[in-house]
A and B are shown apart, each in its own frame.
Chain A
Amino acid sequence: MVTLNIDGRELKAEKGQTILQVARENGIDIPTLCHNEALEPYGACRLCIVEISKGKRTRIVTSCLYPVEAGLEVKTDSSRVISNRKMLLELLLARCSKNKVILKLASQMGIEQPSFKSEYLEDNDCIVCGLCVRACEQVVGVSAISLVNRGIAKEPASPFLEPAADCIGCGSCYYICPTGAIKMEDRKDSRIIYNWKVEFKLKKCKVCGNYWAPEKQLEYIKKKWNLPEDFFDTCPTCK
């Protein structure tokens, strides 16, 4: 057990925990975009930054990754933290100037317009947080997609920008994406994930007749967990 101070409160934490975990356990709000509890922390969006001091040295670190230490002093909303967060949001807003999620976050921070020339504003939805790629790798275990290119051209994509051969259509990427940048559609008996250029046949329930999950995904799960061949012939609602 270690004791640290967050925003003036003395809090107890387990060794190995991060500042973010301890803060959230204690109802202290720190914004994040690229973080998800089911995945390893990544440190890409930088929104979760906090100001820490130990002795005389003060620095800015990402709370999602910084391990707790005894005697650490943390400020989650000092003026230095706030001004950094605001500029980060301005940068995101400049990239995703019409995205509802980013617009809302920016507005909450008091930002109406980014400080950059309007002719340079872009209309992306993806913030390259990597959640889709990380979920596909760490939770699903398929690694059908990856973050390709480098720098400003970095983006999640399927290999060779062709239909992702290893994708099983589970939709984890769609569900985890914080900004709605992944476009997935279930239409009657098929599912399309536009970003990875893939289309899947959906399985029909023997009982209710509804199309409920991609056949490829179900085959994958059956194989992985050694389930009987007819295990998914009935949908979860009817089971």
Chain B
Amino acid sequence: MNEKVKAIISKYNGDKGQLVSILQDIQTEYHYLPKEALIKVSETMAIPVSRVYDVATFFRAFSLEPRGKHLINVCLGTACHVRGAARILEEIERNLAIKRGETTKDRKLTLETVNCMGCCAVGPAVKIDGEYFGHMSTDKVDSVLTKFE
């Protein structure tokens, strides 16, 4: 892990201003921010661990817990909200028995929300990994989720 982290840091020339980008690349690599990686960043870039940790906990892009194999993003943007997105989220939470921000016990699915993906025309919208599902309704939830189990 140390080698990979060091490589990511040198990609950004160890520039302290690029801390958020560096953490994003680590997140993309490991699907979360492992504690060891963050400590390595702190050591290599001479940034106090507390300052790497506060950035890691501030931004929603980061997860300190391992994420599931598939990432579900339910759009809660205003346009989707007025078209009933809240009920879609509730139905998914019920179906998977987890709340937003959580991962299923079998580590297959993580449920997150996002505030506008730019798919307002097809709202309510849900994105799972790179695939979009538009015009969602509560009765479509089960069939959509089964595709990823």
From B48, B53, B59, contact of A160 by CB (8 A): B53
- Closest B residue, CB atoms, query A165: B49
Q: How far is the CB of B41 from chain A (nearest CB, A)?
A: 12
Report the separation of the CA atoms of residues A159 and B53 in the bound assembly, to the nearest whole angstrom. Answer: 6
From B35, B50, B54, contact of A166 by CB (8 A): B50
Considering only residues 37-86 of chain B, those with a C-beta below 8 Å from chain A are 48-54, 57-59, 64
Contact size class for A? 10 to 19
For A150-180 the 0/1 string (1 means CB < 8 A from B) is 1000000011100011100000000000000
Stretch at the interface among A44-52, A141-149, A182-190, A198-206: A141-149
SS class of chain A's interface: helix, strand, loop or mixed? loop
Q: Most chain-A CB neighbours within 10 Å: which of B53, B54, B59? A: B54
SS class of chain B's interface: helix, strand, loop or mixed? helix
Report the separation of the CA atoms of residues A38 and B54 in the bound assembly, to the nearest whole angstrom. Answer: 23
Contact B58 A143, beta carbon cutoff 8 Å:
no
How many residues of B are in contact with the other chain, CB < 8 A? Answer: 12
Q: A148-B57, A149-B57 are in contact. Are A160 and B35 (CB under 8 A)?
A: yes
Q: How far is the CB of B49 from chain A (nearest CB, A)?
A: 5
For B15-49 the 0/1 string (1 means CB < 8 A from A) is 00000000000000000000100000000000011
- Chain B residues with CB below 8 A from A159, complex form: 49-50, 52-53
- Chain B residues with CB below 8 A from A146, complex form: 48, 50-51, 53-54
Q: How far is the CB of A51 from chain B (nearest CB, A)?
A: 33
Q: How far is the CB of B19 from chain A (nearest CB, A)?
A: 13
Contact B50 A158, beta carbon cutoff 8 Å:
yes
From B35, B54, B59, B64, contact of A147 by CB (8 A): B54
Q: How far is the CB of A56 from chain B (nearest CB, A)?
A: 36
Contact B50 A149, beta carbon cutoff 8 Å:
no
Report the separation of the CA atoms of residues A143 and B49 in the bound assembly, to the nearest whole angstrom. Answer: 8
Further pairs besides A142-B48, A148-B57: 16, Cβ < 8 Å: A133-B50, A143-B51, A145-B50, A146-B50, A146-B53, A146-B54, A147-B54, A150-B57, A150-B59, A158-B50, A159-B49, A159-B50, A159-B52, A160-B53, A164-B50, A165-B49
Give the A-binding residues of B (Cβ under 8 A).
Answer: 35, 48-54, 57-59, 64
Give the B-binding residues of A (Cβ under 8 A).
Answer: 133, 142-150, 158-160, 164-166
A–B Cβ pairs within 8 angstroms, 28 of them: A142-B48, A143-B48, A143-B50, A143-B51, A144-B48, A144-B50, A145-B50, A146-B48, A146-B50, A146-B51, A146-B54, A147-B54, A148-B53, A148-B54, A148-B57, A149-B57, A149-B58, A150-B58, A150-B59, A158-B50, A159-B49, A159-B53, A160-B35, A160-B64, A165-B49, A166-B48, A166-B49, A166-B50
